[in-house]
Chain A
Amino acid sequence: MQPSMIPRLCVLSLFLVHAFSNAETITAPTPPPHEWRLPDHVPYPDGNEPTPQRVELGRMLYFDKRLSRDGTTSCASCHDPAQGWSDGLATSRGLDGKTLPRASPTIINAAYNTIQMWDGRKASLEDQAMGPMDSPDEMATDFDKLMALLGRDATYRAAFQAAYPDAPIDKLLIAKAIASFERTVVARNAPFDRWLAGDVTAMTLQQQRGFQIFVDPNTGNCAVCHRAPLFTDNGFHNIGLSSFGREGADPGRFAHKPIAVLKGAFKTPTLRNIAETAPYFHDGSAATLMDVVEHYARGGDVKTNLSPNLKTGPLTQQDKDDLVAFMQALSSPIPAPIAAASTRVSHLPVAGK
């Protein structure tokens, strides 16, 4: 054998080894998919920089049931840290046990959303926070009573003064404080994040395979909508839920933008901490992550107005298991001070009792 052949044979054998080992395992893609790293900077609007004082005030308000008309409901009732910042229900339960038409989305990383709500009807977190307080079914806040209470309460008075010196306490200020708190509910320490940062053992091989399927346009094709780095395109899609076939079906985004493709389209949700927020979809119709994957694998149920981007390739049972395993690698632990606060504040006395 000629010496010049040796390097070539080496390359060939390396290639073969690689090709065969690939069948068993998928190594971390090179270069690392940097585009999936969550941006360090949490965006906030002019005039509402989330200072520690604002965050603390917002935390108090977020967990305070006295914000609701009857003292039963805080933001945390439906966006509970212990339930992945959602509520564990198919669709939310409002005041007087009323069943609401849609599921409570997690507020994890909602700070990064460029549009809020399943139908995108709110632009910012500030704008959003006033919604549940105004809604007769959610909190039905009695603002006269609430302002009186906040004005009487020395702790709140001091907290408002520290957060927004000399600003009159009103609805907007409450919303700004709550939004500041929400901007700290950020998940960036999941096995997936550690894997992205270079810890190759942070995700199991099955989870790494699941990620490959997730981004592969020919198989999972999930990342076309659950895009890097937020697992959402901040976009709206009809993914063929069976509820869309029922009479009087929720039109979703179409109610706000009457464009044909938006009939039955809802916002692509983040998949952060998704393993903790079952059941799934805006109507709570999928009980498990495997149910979700099966839904995509069969191309949806009602196919009359499917998003043109909904194209899941053929998936083997192994692929489906891998996708589920990958989604389980997206859970970050809840920051300890917030977890502790949620139990502490829920014992606050209720107004009028």
Chain B
Amino acid sequence: MNVQATTQALPPSMMKTALYALTLMVLVMASTGDADAEDHVVTQSNMSFSATDLTVKVGDTVSFSNRDSMAHNVYSLSDAKTFDLGSSAPNTSKKVTLDQPGVVDVECALHPSMRMKIKVTQ
């Protein structure tokens, strides 16, 4: 993209307006994206995820809800999504947005026997 080239050519006042317009556009895009995004809930209990396979759409979120009496972690090092939700205390929930298609292998770093796959489709 050549945004930089265009903005450089504009006088400061117009550049400001352009920036506002751009920001607005991004916001609108983001919120329309959200409109049909779904939140999927996966619980962690008895040291396992409630689903081993889950299919979601790009833009959807997955909430991990810890119903165990111990803390868990949720992370993935997959190409389609790399994330680390840190540690979740009992009775707390943490959310991740899946923004690219592909297969996301999810694991608990503390308990690697806790694992699941999220398939993210267009």
Contacts and interface: CB of A to CB of B under 8 A. Distances in A.
B112 to A, nearest CB: 6
Nearest to B72: A308
Interface stretch (B9-17, B52-60, B82-90): B82-90
Nearest to B68: A224
Interface size classification for chain A: 20 to 34
Contacts, number: 49
A235 B84 contact: no
Interface in A219-269: 224, 233-237, 253, 257-262, 265
Given A233-B47, A259-B75, A224 B69 contact: yes
Interface residues of B, number: 16
B113 interface: yes
A261 B111 contact: no
Contacts of A261: 73, 86-87, 109-110
- Interface SS of B by simple majority: loop
Nearest to A227: B47
A256 to B, nearest CB: 10
A157 to B, nearest CB: 40
A115 B112 contact: yes
Given A233-B47, A308-B87, A259 B71 contact: no
B19 interface: no
A309 B113 contact: no
Contact of B112 (A120, A258, A307): A120
Interface in B62-110: 69-71, 73, 75, 77, 84, 86-87, 89, 109-110
A115 B107 CA distance: 14
Interface string A293-330: 00000000000000111000000000000000000000
Given A259-B75, A308-B71, A308-B89, A236 B112 contact: yes
B69 A262 contact: no
Contact of A224 (B70, B75, B77, B87): B70
B69 A234 contact: no
Contact of A236 (B47, B69, B75, B109): B109
A115 B109 CA distance: 13
Nearest to A235: B111
Nearest to B84: A259
Contacts of B84: 259-260
Q: Which of B70, B77, B86, B113 has the most CB atoms of chain A within a 10 A radius of its CB?
A: B70
Contacts of B89: 308
Contacts of B69: 217, 224
Contacts of A120: 112
Contacts of B109: 236, 253, 257, 259, 261-262, 265
Contacts of A257: 77, 109, 112
B75 A233 contact: no
A261 B74 CA distance: 11
B38 to A, nearest CB: 27
A257 B73 CA distance: 13
14 contacts: A233-B110, A233-B111, A235-B110, A237-B110, A258-B77, A259-B84, A259-B109, A261-B86, A261-B109, A265-B109, A307-B71, A307-B110, A308-B87, A308-B89
Top 10 closest pairs, chain A to chain B, by CB: A308-B71, A308-B87, A235-B111, A259-B109, A235-B110, A224-B70, A309-B70, A259-B75, A309-B71, A262-B109
Interface of B: 47, 69-71, 73, 75, 77, 84, 86-87, 89, 109-113
